[in-house]
Amino acid sequence: MESQGERRAGKGRSRSGSLNKVRAEVENAAQAYLELLSLRGIEYFFANAGTDFASIVDAFARRLQQGKEFPRPVTVPHEIPLVSMAHGYYLATGRPQAAMVHVGIGTANGLAALIHAHRARVPILLSAGRTPITEEGSPASRNAFIHWGQESFDQAGMLREYVKWDYELRTPSQLEAVVDRALAMAMTEPRGPVYLMLPREVLVSPLEEVEFHAQPRYDLPTFHPDLKRIQEAAELLIKAQFPLIITSAAGRAHAAVRALVELAEDMGIGVISFNPEYMNFPTGHPCHLGFLPDTHLAKADVIFVVDCDVPWYPNRVKPNDSAVVIQVGIDPLYSRYPLRGFPSDLTLQGEPAEVLSEIAKATAHHRGRQEARIAVRRRELGQIHEDTVEGWQEAARKAAHDKPIDCQWVSYNVNRMLTDDTMVVNEWGNSMHPYTSQLPGSYFCTPHAGYLGWGFGAALGIKMACPDRTVIATVGDGCYLFSVPSACHFVSRAYRLPILIIVYNNQCYEAVKAATRAVHPDGWAARTGQFPLSELQPTADFEKICEAFGGYGERVENPDQLQPALKRALHAVSQEKRQALLNIICKHP
Ligand SMILES: Cc1ncc(C[n+]2csc(CCOP(=O)(O)OP(=O)(O)O)c2C)c(N)n1
């Protein structure tokens, strides 16, 4: 598996200027589209079809006859898991995949998952049919009432804020230029989804032979940090008494995790993984100071904000006025966020991996003189780390025999089952963060658009990319319901993607209750214990939904049964090769 930061969408045209071309016999533009996607390395085509897909369906049927393997069509019967699967596939491989949805309404269904992909900088080539343009005159002209009712004045308008580029293919002759541009826009940093509309008339347009360049026409730009600013950052670090790194997404690239570990170790810097979207820093490392900046922020005199949109909550805690804030990232000031007031005294634009290693190099010359001071700091950090880990474990162990089961005890036990081979998608909350593997690329958590329902689909996409890995999705009962579970279980069975889904079933939206308590600590809800709009009772036998799709399902109510149930479920996944779901009845807050 490669990290996202290390992959590029094709190598671009050869620099010697050679223009190798590939010819293909096709009958129409839809066939040419799939041929071109295959040539550009697209392996999967996640789709939920409609009448707009006529020529695409026909083109796939031809490819099947021809024994052409890629792109493989994957039917995902809802757009939320569809986009989430493409998202998950990218998280695991760093390679963009293609998806297609049904005109405007399919786009609308997938929009929330696409907003997630946008905020998480995930490149997805999302195509959509467009209602037939003509009322007569073409085999593709309108022939159903929906073709009038489904047309929009501006189909892409609903998602333009969340894609980097959108276009409607006007003629088959544009195909290569348009697809190459779409993929290049998606993969150019900061990456993100793009949207291509494909009218039926264009898809059906007859063609006989197409000739495409063997390589995409764009070499993608790279960004390198400003070395003068790197030097300034290094000097600030050398002088710092208590530097602190806060990150949420450094693990986006595995190389950045390695660079972070190196810098933290060399300089004795504490690292906070705040609202992590990835495995950013090994939880077992003595410089790992946990998941909340609150207790350390005021003490820090140099704060490195590394690939982190929200480094602290200003209405709760603030850095010291004299602290220097350094923001690092490919888009360090988050140009697509309307409001983001975190100061940046020194801004370092570039791949975090490169920025951090350059800083480590720049500090190396001066470290010798500071070694004694750094050693003291390392010892202090090690102590804070040990206390923090002990706190997590103590909280979980204390609740070991509680019935209903305590969520922290669930995470503690899930952790005991993890191996280097496991990949976890966590869409539930914080109790899983401490218990993640130490390896980059092994843990993924909700992107910061906060769309719930992403986790199950993303886990399926990850499993599709990594069939030999054990994939576990940890979700709340709310998240599970949002994920369109029947569509996900269907895909798991149809495409042989055996994953384990663990539902932390607390029969409510705890997050909504907590928000109500925070805003109205002495309010009606807090005083009466009634939280309308936040309950999910009576709960359901979610395990039976999994069974309905050929999976293994079990309801777990007894804390002593957690380990045996996890073993049974993992056996079903790894030996019987079928999906499994544990419906764990947790405390109802
Ligand atoms: C699509 C969508 N709708 C609503 C929300 C608001 N929301 C945030 S957390 C949450 C509750 C999630 O419930 P659950 O998965 O059971 O986790 P819990 O809060 O109980 O730990 C909701 C509804 C959201 N984030 N996304």
Based on its alpha-carbon atoms, the radius of gyration of the chain, rounded to whole angstroms, reads: 25
Write the DSSP assignment of 452-496 as a string of letters: TTHHHHHHHHHHHH-TTSEEEEEEEHHHHHHT-HHHHHHHHHHTT
Could you tell me which of 192, 295, 196, 307 has the C-alpha nearest to residue 245? 307
Q: Report residue 105's pLDDT band, with 50, 70 and 90 as the boundaries.
A: very high
Strands 209-213 and 21-25: antiparallel
Q: Is the pLDDT of residue 436 over 80?
A: no
Model confidence at 5: pLDDT above 60: no
Question: What is the C-alpha separation between 47 and 53, in angstroms, rounded?
Answer: 10
Which of 78, 505, 509 should be mutated for ligand 1, with most atoms under 8 A from CB?
A: 509
Quick check: 432 and 455 in contact, CB under 8 A?
no
Per-residue pLDDT at 17: 52
Q: Sorting pLDDT into bands at 50, 70 and 90, what band is 1?
A: very low
Within 13 Å and on the Cβ side, how many CA atoms surround 203? 28
Token pair recorded at residue 402: 């509680």
User: What count of Cα atoms within 13 Å lies in the side-chain half-sphere of residue 272?
Assistant: 22
Q: What is the pLDDT, as a whole number, of residue 12?
A: 45
CA–centroid distance, 221 to ligand 1, in Å, is 38
CA of 99 to the centre of ligand 1 (A): 26
pLDDT of residue 4: 45
Mean pLDDT of 367-395: 93
Task: Identify the pLDDT of residue 16.
Answer: 53
Ligand 1 atom nearest 589 alpha carbon:
20
Q: Whose CA is nearest to atom 17 of ligand 1?
A: 476
pLDDT for res 7: 37
pLDDT digits (tens, 9 = 90+) for 298-329: 999 999 999 999 999 999 999 999 999 999 99
For the cut 70, the answer to whether the pLDDT of residue 2 exceeds it is: no
What does each C-alpha distance from 33 to 26, 100, 173 come to in angstroms? 10, 12, 11
Q: In ligand 1, which atom is closest to the CA atom of 536?
A: 16
Range 164-187 average pLDDT: 97
Coil, helix or strand for 219? coil
Decide whether any atom of ligand 1 lies within 6 Å of the 454 Cβ.
no
Cα within 13 Å of Cα(113), Cβ side: 30
From ligand 1's centre to the CA of 373, what distance in Å? 45
Pocket of ligand 1 contains residue 195 by CB under 6 Å? no
Percent of the chain having pLDDT more than 70? 97
Distance (Å, rounded) from C-alpha 211 to C-alpha 203?
Answer: 17
The closest-lying atom of ligand 1 relative to the alpha carbon of residue 450 is 25
Q: Kindly report the average pLDDT of the chain as a whole number.
A: 94
pLDDT at 336 over 50: yes
Which residue carries 């223009």 as its tokens?
19
Residue 430 has pLDDT above 80, yes or no: no
Look at residue 122 in the predicted model and tell me its pLDDT: 98
**Whose C-alpha lies nearest to ligand 1, atom 8?**
511
**Pairing between β-strand 500-505 and β-strand 580-585 as defined by DSSP bridges:** parallel
With H, G, I as helix, E, B as strand and everything else as coil, classify residue 199: strand
Q: What local confidence, expressed as pLDDT, does residue 435 receive?
A: 77
475 Cα nearest atom in ligand 1: 15
Side chain identity at residue 396, one-letter code = A
Question: What is the per-residue pLDDT for 432?
Answer: 84
Residue 373 pLDDT more than 50? Answer: yes
Evaluate the omega torsion of the peptide bond into residue 589 and state whether it is cis, within 30 degrees of 0: no
Q: What distance in Å separates the CA atoms of residue 94 and residue 106, rounded to the nearest whole number?
A: 25
Specify the higher pLDDT residue, 222 or 63: 63
What pLDDT does residue 8 have?
A: 38
Spacing, Cα 503 to ligand 1 middle (Å):
13
Which amino acid, residue 197? M
Determine contact, residues 349/330, Cβ cutoff 8 Å. Answer: yes
Residues 429-450 have a mean pLDDT of 87
Q: What integer pLDDT is reported at residue 167 of this predicted model?
A: 98
**Cβ(429) to ligand 1 under 6 A?**
yes
With 80 as the cut, is the pLDDT of residue 125 above it? yes
pLDDT at 338 over 70: yes
pTM, full prediction: 0.96
pLDDT confidence bin for 223, thresholds 50/70/90: confident
CA angle 495, 500, 504 (to 5 degrees): 135
Q: Which of 512, 531, 534, 585 to mutate to test the pocket of ligand 1 (most atoms within 8 A of CB)?
A: 512
Mean pLDDT along residues 270-295: 96
Q: What's the rounded mean pLDDT across residues 327-346?
A: 97
Span from the CA of 479 to the centroid of ligand 1 (angstroms): 6
CA distance readout (Å), 423 to 106, 116, 392, 409, 418:
30, 20, 21, 20, 8
Whether residue 19 has pLDDT greater than 80: no
Best mutation site among 78, 483, 510, 537 for ligand 1 pocket (most ligand atoms within 8 Å of CB): 510
CA 240 / ligand 1 centre spacing (Å): 40
pLDDT (tens digit, 9 = 90+) per residue, 26-70?
999 999 999 999 999 999 999 999 999 999 999 999 999 999 999
Please state the rounded mean pLDDT for residues 328-334.
Answer: 98
Q: Kindly give the distance from the C-alpha atom of residue 207 to the centroid of ligand 1, in angstroms, as a whole number.
A: 49
What is the number of the ligand 1 atom nearest to the C-alpha of 511?
19
- The CA distances from residue 180 to 37, 89, 215, 582, in Å, are 9, 20, 9, 43
- The residue among 59, 16, 76 whose CA lies nearest residue 493 is 76
Identity of the residue numbered 178 = V
Amino acid at 521: P
Average confidence (pLDDT) over 267-273: 97
Residue 511 CB–ligand 1 contact under 6 Å: yes
CA of 497 to the centre of ligand 1 (A): 26
Looking at residue 431, what is its pLDDT? Answer: 83
Q: What angle do CA 452, 160, 39 make, to 5 degrees?
A: 90
Going by pLDDT thresholds of 50, 70 and 90, the confidence category of residue 18 is: low
